[in-house]
Structure 1
Amino acid sequence: MSASKKQTILVVDDTAVNRMVLSDILSDEYEVIEARDGLEALNILHRKEGQIALMLLDVVMPNMDGFEVLALLHRNQWSANVPVIIISAETSSTYIRKGFELGAVDYVNRPFDPEVVLQRVRNTITLFAKQGILRDLVADQVAEREKTNTLMVDILSTIVEFRNGESGLHVTRIRIITELLLEAMQRRFPEYDLTPSKIANISNAAALHDIGKIIIPEEILNKPGRLTPEEFEVIKTHSAVGDAMLKGLHFGKEEELVEYAREICRWHHERWDGEGYPDGLVGDQIPVAAQAVALADVYDALVSERVYKAAYSHEKAISMIKGGECGAFNPDLMQCFVDEADNLNEMIEIRSDSAAKLFDVDQLSSELIERKSPGLSDKTVSLLKRERTKLVLFSEMTEGVLFDYDYESDTVLLSGRDASRYGYPQIMAGGEQKSLAEMSEDPCVMLIREYLEAMKPCDSVLSMNVDYVFPDGVRRSCEIRSTVMWSEDEEECRKLGVLGRILPAGDLQ
């Protein structure tokens, strides 16, 4: 083995003979560095950080003994990277146990048996190398899974933004501003107990703050002028609806991320003085997660162009928020916001690197599906594909009543410009005891059921004309167009649901 490729071992012993013996045993396979006491050993570790593969450490030494060295290594977390074998003539169990308690991985007695010393050194270095590889693999998988989870949240939230006529970058800006505010709160106000893990979960959950808007009629959601009081009341329902949607999850609703998302969805329009909605919470009744997202959402709404307004400048937005024109906020949070304001745009730009590409929903979902990264199950892949198909289909449909029937949950989501016009509720779902058919005799539901029963895997699209009695009691001739979603299971092709629309004859195009 060439000298340049030898691993380095640090021998720490105040007796020159012991150092010489160990050097003779190890020098054929390893580069050996010697230290005469604990202080010298620590200096070498500082100078050669990351280069020491193993330390052989005597216990009884002047200036700083071996136990003191082990204690320092343990406090500084060096023992996780530099394994230590104690070398000593002491054989009492108490002595040996103390060494292991302080982080030593092995214990070699003097006088030295060259073969025993060499083999234990080899074994320890090999074990730590394997542990390092495993640790790196786990870290990579955790990081990849976290990235996948974040991208999944972004895909779903961006679908809502797409319908809302806003750029998907709104999602990432909300997350970044929330993260900056919470990091500032963590530094200035430790009493809020904001850990890095909590900040990460809250910031990711922030992307889902407006998912309830999926049920708001498009003509209200994208109205260019001022909303009427009645229309504003409809808009306000999105907070409670978002909370209800997450509460209804079949899996994962106990996860911390989902709990934060529910808080944020429901309460990000609450205000410190109790003038917000939907529950009129006051002060610290509002969870800090919702408080931070509320302020982030207000700022980004001010500096962004909307169908009903032009974008304000950064300076104007800060002035409006400080002046109370956008409602009252937690004074601690406001202090952090004002302190961070000068650097806000720069930090958003830095943390939004490649954001435009990141929030291309179709490209993003394709990359996730093709990558098949750790933690991305077949069910998740299927859901992603289904959401992408729905986004494409529904973006092309503007008139009529749109329906999205989910076979597994036995639920129909009705939307579109004409849904409320013809007397449809937004959601009709089967309860625990009754099926959808038992709860509703709506012809649309019955037709959907008939499609599912009659269609074969090769049949994915159906268009037909029928006489249809709408919930308002009027019979109309209409066209029904639908697409059936199928699973991609090679062993069993299952029906997942139906997407389509009902178009009254008078509205046919």
Structure 2
Amino acid sequence: MNRDTILIVDDMEINRAILRNLFEQEYNLLEAENGEQALMMIRQYKDSLAAILLDLVMPVKDGYQVMSEMTQNGLMTKIPVIVITSVDSMENEVRAFDLGAADIIIKPFESHVVRRRVQNAVELNRHKMHLEEMVEEQAAKLRESRDVIMDTLSSIIEHRSVETGQHVLRIRMFTKVLLEEVMKCCPEYELNEHSIRVISEAAALHDIGKISIPDTILNKPGRLTKEEFDIMKTHTVKGCEILSGLDRVGDDEYLRYAYNICRYHHERWDGRGYPDGLKGDNTPICAQVVGIADAFDALTTDRVYKRAIEPEKAMTMILNGECGVFSPKTLECLKNVKASFFELAREYADGHSPKLDFAKSLSVPSPLHSGIDNMYAQDQIKYFAMLRYVDSTVFEIDLDSGIYHLVYQQNDDFQALKTGNSFEEAVINFVESSVHPNDRELVLDILKNQIDNFFSHGLIKSSTRYRVFHRASGKYVWYEAAAVRVNIENPKSHKALIVWRLIDEPSNIENMKPEKSGASVSKNLPAGILQCMNDQYFTVTYINEGFISLFGYSKEEIKEKFQNRYIDLVLPEDHIAVRHWFNEQLSLGSTQELEYRVKTKDGRTVWILDKSKRVVGEDGNEYLNCVLTDITQIKQSQEELRLTMERYRIIQDQTNDIIFEGDIESGEVKFSNNWKNKFGYEPISGNIFTQIKKLSHIFPDDIPALQKIMQKVIKGVPYAEAELRIAGAEGKYIWCRIRMTTQFDDSGKAVKAVGVILDIDSEKRRIQELSDRAQKDALTKLYNKETAVQIIQNRLERNNENKSYAMLIIDIDNFKQINDYYGHMFGDAILAESAFRLTETFNNGDIIARFGGDEFLVFIECSGGLAVIEEVAQRVVETFRNIYLSEFQKFGLTTSIGISIYPNDGTDFQGLFKRCDLALYHAKNNGKNQFAVYDDSSMMKSFGVYQKQVSAAGTQIDSDDSDNYNIDSIVPLAFQKLYESDDINEAINSILELVGRRYNVSRVYIFEDSEDGNYVSNTFEWCNDGIEPEIDNLQHISYERMGKNYRDNFDENGIFYCQDISDLSKELYNILLPQGIRSVLQCAVRDGEKFVGFVGFDDCVILRMWTKNQIDALIFISELLSTFLLKKRAQDRVISAARDLRMILDSQNSWIYVLDPHSYELKYINAKIQQIAPEAKLGMKCYRAFYNRDIPCEMCPMNGIKEDKNKTIEIYNPASNIWSMADASRIRWGNQDACLIACHNITDLKTDKN
């Protein structure tokens, strides 16, 4: 984003105004009047801020607090902060610089110095950011070189241990995938995208120490002996020794991760790993993750001592601790990414070399995790906390993948569940070793039958009780085993948790009998009572009479028609919502409320409020007791209200206006959604009366106007409005009008304010533009004479502080000769450039005006004494010498300046101007190209006190009385020529001459593209006196010859302007130079979006400087010419096509004519008809022209043509003794219906037939 905005932070309005005047021409400005508001602005617009001008002493939060918070957010190094304060003390300066200030400026200050120091800070920061980008690029190249070295080293390890194959590559990929999940679920490890990338790269070196292990051990095909395994374990320490010698690589972070991974990736959660036996989180998370990745890869790939096993079985072994105990949190994360692990294991199996794919995968940044991910991480933490609190054994199964995991073990009673190669085998081992002999058949039946029934019936929960051997006491104790579905929204998912909870004897546990319980509470209730199973169908087990009267179905009908499935009574459109809503509320407790629709027996759709409670039956299954209430009328009222609100929303969306409603007592204001669409951020929240000064985006100077209308509303004024500026999304203030109406309660107290915020930015800017036009000179954009005189007089009248001022009259020497030699247009360019140089030299608060044809007046504060004024004047003289220095070889561009001082030389405008004029006369009389300060003794004495002085300053503006070269003076003449001329070519040539002579150019011309756009031809040309025509030499020129991208010379406005053709490409320069061209201006001609040519203006005499007004006028003229020219070319194509069509019809060996189907008048006849019927004329009746009849023919081909688009009949003409086959067709002729008839001579055929 372009950094073009300065934020001014000061609680004093006058200070902000001074700084605003200094920078408003160069930067977009934002303002804040306290530290809190400033910080809000900084957070909102940090990417577009070029600098911050910060006061130290402010309310709410001072400047030091602002810089402190910016430092905490890392913004002080990105945005230069220039402290501007009136407190001049060493302590404040040291504190400000320590906080990171780029510069400190003490008030009062000199405006020019402030501008330069701020500009220096902005430029320095820009270069610093550029250098940081370069450093980052070089660091990336160094990382790339380092990765090449490390990959080479890793490859050496791979080739020594031949069975590992792509082991190193897979480790990096497994590590990256698992780390991303850990980052999402476990924020306590403080992982981020950068650390994940570095850890994944460092994981390649996890087994670097194996380079020191003998081949006989590293590649031994059988099991290692204890001594051999002890040697193998040393690869962790050996690897660290190797890494310690790589410190010259220079990347400390990378080496730190590599060291931790290499040393600790064989450590385990329970402390039984090596080399240091670390427990828990004492092992760095990077090593924990690489350890899991290493174990998974070792299980799923062939090794010299074993064959690979399936990824699903490997996952189960890791989850159940068969490869050592890993962190429960990382294991939960592993389960979440198991699908990715399986895919990577297969895609990057040994024998493949997809390293390029891996490089790409590492280069793609992982998505940033949102607040939802943080919530998920908190759920994980809560899950483990709950397991510890409940202290029940939890076993997770996934029948789809075959993975099972003993998540939490209450005691050693369930240790057997960790054995076996499958879920079924693990359960059988548990039954045989731990379940009471009398209960084993029950448990095995659950395994064989009830598990499948649990999933197939869509049950949510099912439980049973049996005895398990308690190892601590040596006795069998009772446990309740509950199976709970995990993904209840997906009926195809087969995931569940089995939870074993220690319970008392079954005889002491209360059970409920579902139907009896339901019946006991519902017989006499008027509402519908339903009891159903908690399965995917909500299978009905009991309904009361109220249910039957509510829906109209009897118990038998529900059983026969719906198979007791209550979900089938629910409207199909609500099935998914009901299941989702129920499952969602199920997690919140045993009681829930749902709203849905049911189709009754008589066809009505009723809305039902369902209040449900979960209970557990004596069979161990879950049931729902539901109270059903008809809320149809309530929902209808809600729908009417919703439609009303929807209409209100639609009206809001169709307007850009922002609607708001405020509560007067609380200060809370609600805004329509248009606010964020309009301004790009959320509106102010909380009490607006307290927040408006601290946290609003409103222009600080406009806040009092808003507070004023707010007070009016509080006092009960019915209506109020105000205009103010609000910062938009791009950091630019937008003018808005707020209209506010007060609402009263029954007692007449003002309670609410309702209003609208209107965008009036374009309106205000148009008014400002009109004001500028009235106050400023059209050519130079400086103040005009009248405005400057008024402003200076007002400033002198209000000079209560006894300030000293200086008036300067600046006159361009020899300007008349320059005008006569180079022309008025070039003279205007000189004046415009001179004005620009003056605005660059003086401060924004100074008054600069164009006071005459070639004279300027400047009025500035003389705070530094006469020496400063003389220094500025000398700088102006030197500046004018350098304007277009190469162009003024014949006339030198110099200036003379007269200076008078207030109050020494006068106390009003006229007195100052008179003496300033005398000083100017003195400067010119002494040789020009200098300045002179008014001296009463010498200057008045030289010219005589009582003599009438001849003014050196001419106050008439020459360009105001000369011909205006703007659009208004040429367009009427151009239109007149185009509309009055019968020959469009002649009119275009006439306009080219008009423009050429008005602007005194050498050549005006039009080029048009060929139809394929590859060639261009000069089609029109006007040349000034003494200029050779070039039109004959510029026909069918290839764009290839003019430079392949010639059209790219035209900017977005369709302008190609070059003051000096020597600045162009060599190809284009060599084409234009032989034509004698020095300067060129061309305007593109477009047909829609297609470039079809251009209108050009060449100067072969001088290097022409075109002004904006002149270019605007030429653009308009070019568009006018192109419009008529394109229209003419289109007409030419139509005429040519018509001529070709007529030639085709005349060449046909058929009689072809067109008739009006209503009047039978001839609209067209071809040449063949004119040969046999020379008397036939357009407008005659066909039956009169061809058959000499007074009425239409009975067999006319047009009969029935309205019903049939085409018709063919045979016609005999006795007058000419000719048989013809007539084809009649309905067509459009011009703007009306017509009939086309084509007659073919078949006389010979008829004769042969007879």
Tell me the TM-score range normalised by the shorter chain: 0.5 to 0.7
Say yes or no: does 1:154 pair with 2:154: no
- Counterpart CA distance in 1 for 2:261 and 2:172 is 12
2:307 is matched with 309
More displaced stretch, 265-274 vs 144-153 = 265-274
Closer, same or farther in 2 for the Cα pair 1:29/1:154, shift >3 Å? same
- Counterpart CA distance in 2 for 1:65 and 1:273 is 53
What CA deviation, in whole Å up to 9, does each residue of 1:118-177 have, x standing for no partner? 110111001111111122222232233233323322222133324544576431332344
Instruction: Please say if residues 271 and 280 of structure 2, whose CA atoms lie closer than 8 Å, have aligned partners that are also in contact.
Output: no
More displaced stretch, 130-139 vs 22-31 = 22-31
1:342 is matched with 336
Instruction: Please say if residues 246 and 253 of structure 1, whose CA atoms lie closer than 8 Å, have aligned partners that are also in contact.
Output: no
Tell me which of 103, 119, 122 is aligned to 2:119: 122
More displaced stretch, 246-255 vs 158-167 = 246-255
Closer, same or farther in 2 for the Cα pair 1:43/1:112, shift >3 Å? same
Amino acid at match of 1:356: P
1:173 is matched with 170
The structure that is strand-richer by fraction is: 2
Q: Secondary structure at the match of 2:76?
A: helix
2:222 is matched with 227
Instruction: Please say if residues 55 and 85 of structure 1, whose CA atoms lie closer than 8 Å, have aligned partners that are also in contact.
Output: yes
Say yes or no: does 1:7 pair with 2:1: no
Closer, same or farther in 2 for the Cα pair 1:18/1:356, shift >3 Å? same
- Counterpart CA distance in 1 for 2:276 and 2:247 is 25
What CA deviation, in whole Å up to 9, does each residue of 1:67-125 have, x standing for no partner? 33223222222222111112222223333333333332212222231111111011100
> For this pair of structures, how many residues does the alignment match?
348
Closer, same or farther in 2 for the Cα pair 1:236/1:23, shift >3 Å? same
- Counterpart CA distance in 1 for 2:260 and 2:35 is 53
Closer, same or farther in 2 for the Cα pair 1:147/1:342, shift >3 Å? same
Closer, same or farther in 2 for the Cα pair 1:218/1:9, shift >3 Å? same
Tell me which of 83, 86, 97 is aligned to 1:86: 83
- Counterpart CA distance in 2 for 1:144 and 1:26 is 41
Amino acid at match of 1:335: K
Aligned counterparts, 1:10-409, within 5 A = 10-165=7-162, 169-178=166-175, 184=182, 188=186, 203-211=200-208, 213=210, 227=222, 237-240=231-234, 243-244=237-238, 247=241, 251-252=245-246, 268-269=265-266, 281=277, 283=279, 288=284, 291-304=288-301, 308-313=306-311, 315-326=312-323, 328-330=324-326, 333-346=327-340, 356-358=354-356
RCO higher in 1 or 2 (8 Å CA, sep ≥ 6)?
A: 1
- Counterpart CA distance in 1 for 2:281 and 2:36 is 54
Identity %: 36
Closer, same or farther in 2 for the Cα pair 1:302/1:26, shift >3 Å? same
- Counterpart CA distance in 1 for 2:29 and 2:236 is 63
Shift of 1:64: 3.3
- Counterpart CA distance in 2 for 1:248 and 1:114 is 63
Shift of 1:360: 9.9
Amino acid at match of 2:203: A
The structure that is helix-richer by fraction is: 1
Amino acid at match of 2:87: E
The TM-score with structure 2 as length reference comes to 0.25
Q: Secondary structure at the match of 1:59?
A: coil
Closer, same or farther in 2 for the Cα pair 1:340/1:101, shift >3 Å? same
1:500 is matched with none
- Counterpart CA distance in 2 for 1:348 and 1:25 is 65
Q: Secondary structure at the match of 2:53?
A: strand
RMSD: 4.5
Q: Which blocks of at least 5 consecutive residues in structure 1 are unaligned?
A: 362-509
- Counterpart CA distance in 1 for 2:343 and 2:222 is 33
1:432 is matched with none
- Counterpart CA distance in 2 for 1:177 and 1:295 is 9
The TM-score with structure 1 as length reference comes to 0.55
Closer, same or farther in 2 for the Cα pair 1:236/1:253, shift >3 Å? farther
Closer, same or farther in 2 for the Cα pair 1:176/1:35, shift >3 Å? same
- Counterpart CA distance in 1 for 2:354 and 2:281 is 36
- Counterpart CA distance in 1 for 2:37 and 2:263 is 60
- Counterpart CA distance in 2 for 1:37 and 1:285 is 46
What CA deviation, in whole Å up to 9, does each residue of 1:348-367 have, x standing for no partner? 979x9998133899xxxxxx
1:429 is matched with none
Instruction: Please say if residues 172 and 355 of structure 1, whose CA atoms lie closer than 8 Å, have aligned partners that are also in contact.
Output: no
Instruction: Please say if residues 23 and 115 of structure 2, whose CA atoms lie closer than 8 Å, have aligned partners that are also in contact.
Output: yes
1:437 is matched with none
Greater Rg by CA:
2
Q: Which blocks of at least 5 consecutive residues in structure 2 are unaligned?
A: 360-1250
- Counterpart CA distance in 2 for 1:262 and 1:40 is 47
Shift of 1:50: 0.5
More displaced stretch, 124-133 vs 32-41 = 32-41
Instruction: Please say if residues 154 and 359 of structure 1, whose CA atoms lie closer than 8 Å, have aligned partners that are also in contact.
Output: no
